[in-house]
Chains A and B, each alone.
Chain A
């Protein structure tokens, strides 16, 4: 069985994109092509990791969220705020103060996502005791989960079938409200997202038919509004007086915390390239004796999320400070933590799992083995004509991907500038025809622009 849900958050603004191909070069799944002067994403391959977003010099790539405007006016609106958001602000602002300011953005209630982490720790311990494929790969980072679905189909069975903390928080809030006989249809839960992948996870969850999150709001948008409120405020807001979660819960979204809660041997790997490098090894049976893999697409974990406005290293330091303050609170209470969510543990455990994760067909040449073999044969033949420079002038990230596009009927051999010159030399292609081909890739205006400039000069 293969998964075919290709919902995405990463989008390209056609008015801003100049087809410069920076994004195409960094895309880890080779999902981007340049067509008519504009980057186009292949939905079956994109994993919403946001590497393209980071490098776009035109700021033409954006992460589509549901936005504040989507907040239903007659609903009870709850914002689920991840710790990394609090880490965007200087430590003089207390968590209580920042959360209060977030509430001002149009929410009726604000909750910290990481309250669910104490539950996650229990869930990890339970799963560690079960006979599951080793290593178990954390399902926390949705970009990593999708990367495995696309590039490492044989490792999908290793993904831990457990909901993410914000989903557990959402589940808890729903259960808690239901107990209070609150009409759950009137409850809207919004997640303040640090990245595009989490938005996709909320819209098209893997292993679940529907998400418990009603919408996501881009962290940058909330950041600006929250900062304005904080700056306008005259007197200082309050501080927490009880530790309502374990101190290190606040660091869960950073790289290296999660792994401590899976008994046995574990590794924390962050950064898309590192993740790929390791999965490659794992797939070949290269890695043994590891029980758990914590993998994050972004450097430093969620602090490096593409929608986090602050510096990731400062964010990490601030969260570490916050951990210390929570530890002080915990010490004052003689080691007690008053986490209300844990009262629901028994109800949450049976609901915390997800269905098995299936591979995606992003790499498939053809469903039919025979046809796929013929296509592969053609790819090999085509490769012998291409220079192997991976120059990208054809609008594909590599000679190999151009060959693949050709056999899939998405490109033609004359897209290669080297092949074009050879064809022109052999009188198989006129310079005018070559221009037409180039215009199809680089966009219509591209070549005219240079004609005009030359005329002006002479």
Chain B
């Protein structure tokens, strides 16, 4: 079953609401607490990436019997060098964003760590698409 949520770029105060909604829904299923935690962390990081870097985006979650597929797409500057972006500590976040406690360059590595499959594609100047799979 599929759910989609809008994400607003730059709105840090509302950041995390989409992943929080998904989390609420998943708690109604018999999913192991550790898996739930991984999902919560991965989705929150992915959502905050859109908030911190893009203009707007969406999070679409597809719940299946034994796994969860998530697609986070955004319209934004995109990622120039995906390999570098995946390195721990690498970040292009602005000083303002860092001052808010984000942009430590752990977002993408953290998402990878917490999901079973991860596919990141991006077109500079247009946007980024992140697809995740987490098995229950």
Contact = CB atoms under 8 A, between A and B. Distances in A.
Interface centre among A285, A367, A370 (most CB of B within 10 A): A285
Q: A interface, by DSSP: helix, strand, loop or mixed?
A: helix
B49 to A, nearest CB: 13
Nearest to B3: A380
A373 interface: yes
Q: B interface, by DSSP: helix, strand, loop or mixed?
A: helix
B23 A283 contact: yes
A280 B20 contact: yes
Contacts of A372: 28-30
Contact of A377 (B1, B16, B28, B30): B1
Interface stretch (A31-39, A64-72, A303-311, A358-366): A358-366
Interface string B10-29: 00000010011001010111
Interface in B101-127: 110
A154 B25 contact: no
Contact of A369 (B20, B41, B43, B136): B136
Given A284-B41, A376-B1, A369 B29 contact: yes
B99 interface: no
B25 A284 contact: no
Contacts of A368: 30
B63 interface: yes
Contacts of B36: 153-154
A156 B36 CA distance: 12
Contacts of B45: 285
Interface in B32-73: 33-34, 36-37, 40-41, 43-45, 63-66
Given A364-B28, A369-B136, A376-B25, A284 B65 contact: no
A363 B27 contact: yes
Interface string A272-291: 00000000110111100000
Contacts of A370: 65
B40 to A, nearest CB: 5
A281 B13 CA distance: 12
A352 interface: no
A157 interface: yes
A402 B33 CA distance: 26
Interface of A: 151, 153-157, 280-281, 283-286, 359, 363-370, 372-373, 376-377, 380
> Which 3 residue pairs spanning A and B have beta carbons closest together?
A284-B44, A154-B37, A285-B41
